[in-house]
Structure 1
Amino acid sequence: MLPFKPIELKDKEVINSYLCKQNYRASDLCFTNLFCWGKKFDTQFATKGEWFFVRFRDNNGRNSYLKPIGGRNIREAIDMIMDDHKQFDTVFQIRGLTREMMDEIEAEMPDIFDYKFNRSVSDYIYSSEKLVNLTGKKLQSKRNHINRFKRENEWEYGSLSGNPSLIKECKEMLDQWMEINMADKDPSLVYDDVATTLMLDNFEYLGLKGGGIRVRGKIVAFTIGEPLTRDTFVVHVEKAYTSIHGAYSIINQQFAEHETTGFTYINREEDMGFENLRNAKLSYQPDILLEKYNARLKDRSR
C-alpha cells in the first residue's frame, strides 16, 4: 500500500515540487487548501517515484482520491490507488476531475469509469481584467456598489504582505465576523474559521498574498489568495461585514487590482452547493466554470 500520512506544514516544499508541474487551474491542487482544510477532510498524501497522491474523505465520510499528479503513466498511478483502496469498505472514487483530467484517464483507461458531474465543487474562473475593471452592462451593479461605498466611507486598502500588524487586525475581524455569522448555525463555518486562521497564522510561510479594507481605521473586509498555476491566481478567503454596503464588492475589486498583477485568470473556487454563494459568484459573470466530476468504476453486473 502507499505510505499515506497527514499533511503538515513541513511537507510544503515536497508537495509543491509535484504541484508546480501541473496547469489544471483546479483549486484542489494547492498546498494551502490541502493543508488548511485537512482536518475537515482527513486529507493525507503519499509520494512514490514520480507520483504524488492525495487521499481524503468526502462529506459522507467515504474514502476518496484526487487524480494522481506528476508522472506520465496514469494507468500505473490509478492502479496504485485502487490497490490502496482495498483496505476500505467504501466504493472506489476519484473526485474533483476536470474534463482535461478525464480525457487523460479515458485515453489510457477507456470504458473503465463512469463520470458524474459535481456542480457544487466546480470552480469559478474569471479574467483578471474583468475583476479589476468591471466593465460592461452586466457588471454595472458591481460598479454601483463600489461607487456608493466610496461615497459613504473614508477608506483605504492595505496589503498584508510584510505587514504583521494588519494580519493581526484581520484575525480580530475574523473573530467578530464569526460571532455575527455563527447565528446562522452553519456547521461548515467552524471549518472555514479553522482554515482561515491557519492561513493568517502561517501567512508568510505559505507564500500567501492578502489585502484588507479599512474604514475609519478599522478593518471591515479582507481577502487571501496566492498563485495557483502559471497563469492563474486563486482566492481562498473573502470576508466582509455585510452591514457596510459594498464592502464585499470593494475588497474583491481592490484585491484583484493590487495583488494579482501578471495573472490572466483568477480562480474564486467553488460554491459548495450554497445558493447564496452560487448567485454571488455567478453575478460576476465567470469566464470559465471549471467543471468537476467524480469517477467510479463501471458496474459490470448489469
Structure 2
Amino acid sequence: MNNIPEFPQQTDLTFEHNVTLRSAVTAQGIRAAEYSFYYLTSWYYNRPARISRIADRYVLDVEGKQGGHIFLGPFGTGPIKPAVEKLLEHAANDFGEEKVLHFLPGVLAEAIMAEMTPTRVEEHRDYFDYLYLREELSDLSGRKFQKRRNQLNKIQRENSAEIVPLLEKDIEQIFHCFDRWYEKYGDDDPFLDMEKQSIRRALPNLWKLGGQGIRVKIADNMCGISWAVPISDDTWLVPVEKAAREVKGMYQYVNWALANSLPASAKILNREADLGIEGLRTAKERYNPIGFEKKVTLWF
C-alpha cells in the first residue's frame, strides 16, 4: 500500500499492484470484469487505469469514451462512508466530474446504500456479467446440459478435435491465429478493433497473471481458442473466446475445453456481459448461470 498514493493523488496501475488489487477485490466480494487487472491494463482508449487509496480502500480511475475520469470504488476493507464522501468531493472539486459512482458491482453498491442514500439508482442490465460454476461447465451433467453434451460428442466423433494448452513460447503463433480469425470473420465493428488492441496488450501478461488458455485443433487447423485469468481468489474471467464459425458447435466445445483446463481454485467463471445483444443473451442464458455481477450507478 505504501507505493499507492492517497486520493486524489494517483499513480499508473502496474503489475506490482496486481496482488493488492486482487486482495481488495476478493475482500469486497467483487467478481466484475472491469475490476480485473487484465481489463484495467488492456481495455482502454488512450490511457490505462490509475490507482489511489482512501485509507484501506482503493479507487481506480479509468478513461471514459469521451475522455475524462470514471472512478471505480472505493473497494476493499475499512469504513466505507467516509471513503465515498472523500471520493465524491474530490471527483467534483479536483476533476470536474459529477458526484456519481458509475457501474458499481452489485455487492459494492449494496454496501454503500446500506450507509448512504443516493438521489438516484440505475441498474445496467446489458452490462451484467454472467457468472457460472466452472465445475458445471466442465462436467455438463444433468438434463439441463443434455444438448451441450450431444454437441460435444458429435464434434469428437466427426472431427477428432485436439485440445492444446496455450504456451508463452507460442505467442507469435497465437497472434497469427487471431489475425487469421479477424481477416476471415471480422467486419467494421469498432468493438472488434478495440478487442484486437486489447489482445495485443494483454496476451503477453497472461501467464504472469496466472492465467491459462487452450487451443482446439482439427487436422492441424486451429478451430478455436480461449483463455481465462483470475479476478479474485475464486473467480476467473473469460475475456477471449474465438472459434471457426463454419464448424457447428465449436464455440460450445471451446467453452467446455477451457473449463476443463482450469484449476480447482477457479470455482466461478465470469463470462462477461451480453451488451444487450439478443442472440448473445440467449446463448449465455442457455448455459444456466448461477447469477450475475450486477452493474449499478449511484447519484448523490
TM-score, structure 2 normalization: 0.87
- Cα contact 2:42–2:48 (8 A) shared by 1: no
Task: After TM superposition, give the deviation of residue 64 of structure 1 in Å.
Answer: 2.2
1:28 partner SS: helix
Alignment-derived partner of residue 96 in structure 1 = 103
1:118-169 CA-partner distances (Å, limit 9, x unpaired)? 0121110111222012223332322222122112213211222xx2344333
Alignment-derived partner of residue 106 in structure 1 = 113
- Matching residue within 76, 79, 82 for 1:73: 79
What are the ranges of 5 or more consecutive residues in structure 2 without an aligned counterpart? 1-6
In 2, the alpha carbon distance for the partners of 1:98 and 1:36 equals 20
In the alignment, structure 1 residue 32 sits paired with structure 2 residue 38: yes
- Cα contact 2:234–2:267 (8 A) shared by 1: yes
Alignment-derived partner of residue 51 in structure 2 = 45
- Cα contact 2:55–2:78 (8 A) shared by 1: no
In 2, the alpha carbon distance for the partners of 1:253 and 1:223 equals 10
Alignment-derived partner of residue 3 in structure 2 = none
Letter in 2 for 1:246: G
Alignment-derived partner of residue 4 in structure 2 = none
Higher deviation after alignment, 55-64 or 228-237? 55-64
In 2, the alpha carbon distance for the partners of 1:139 and 1:179 equals 33
- Cα contact 2:228–2:239 (8 A) shared by 1: yes
1:96 partner SS: strand
- Cα contact 1:233–1:260 (8 A) shared by 2: no
Letter in 2 for 1:267: N
Alignment of 1:69-148 (within 5 A): 69-86=75-92, 87-109=94-116, 111-148=117-154
1:68 partner SS: strand
Task: After TM superposition, give the deviation of residue 255 of structure 1 in Å.
Answer: 0.8
1:48-70 CA-partner distances (Å, limit 9, x unpaired)? 44221112244465632212122
Alignment-derived partner of residue 4 in structure 1 = 10
In 1, the alpha carbon distance for the partners of 2:263 and 2:245 equals 24
Alignment-derived partner of residue 194 in structure 2 = 191
Alignment-derived partner of residue 230 in structure 1 = 233
TM-score, structure 1 normalization: 0.87
- Matching residue within 279, 288, 293 for 1:290: 293
In 2, the alpha carbon distance for the partners of 1:181 and 1:250 equals 19
Q: CA RMSD in A?
A: 2.3
Task: After TM superposition, give the deviation of residue 229 of structure 1 in Å.
Answer: 2.5
Letter in 2 for 1:27: A
Alignment-derived partner of residue 207 in structure 2 = 204
1:229-257 CA-partner distances (Å, limit 9, x unpaired)? 23322212111111222221111101101
Distance change (3 Å), C-alpha of 1:117 and 1:195: same
What are the ranges of 5 or more consecutive residues in structure 1 without an aligned counterpart? 298-302
Higher deviation after alignment, 15-24 or 215-224? 15-24
Distance change (3 Å), C-alpha of 1:64 and 1:93: farther
Higher deviation after alignment, 60-69 or 214-223? 60-69
- Cα contact 1:157–1:213 (8 A) shared by 2: yes
1:204-262 CA-partner distances (Å, limit 9, x unpaired)? 22221111111112322111112322332221211111122222111110110121423
2:209 partner SS: coil
1:103 partner SS: helix
Letter in 1 for 2:260: E
Higher deviation after alignment, 164-173 or 213-222? 164-173
Distance change (3 Å), C-alpha of 1:239 and 1:278: same
- Cα contact 1:117–1:292 (8 A) shared by 2: yes
1:155-205 CA-partner distances (Å, limit 9, x unpaired)? 211222xx234433321111111122332x210111111112222222222
Task: After TM superposition, give the deviation of residue 47 of structure 1 in Å.
Answer: 2.8
Higher deviation after alignment, 95-104 or 113-122? 95-104
1:115 partner SS: strand
In the alignment, structure 1 residue 248 sits paired with structure 2 residue 251: yes
Letter in 1 for 2:185: N
Higher deviation after alignment, 15-24 or 246-255? 15-24
In 1, the alpha carbon distance for the partners of 2:183 and 2:84 equals 44
Give every structure 1 segment of 4 or more consecutive aligned residues whose post-TM-superposition deviation is greater than 6 Å: none
In 1, the alpha carbon distance for the partners of 2:211 and 2:78 equals 30
2:34 partner SS: coil
- Matching residue within 266, 281, 286 for 2:284: 281
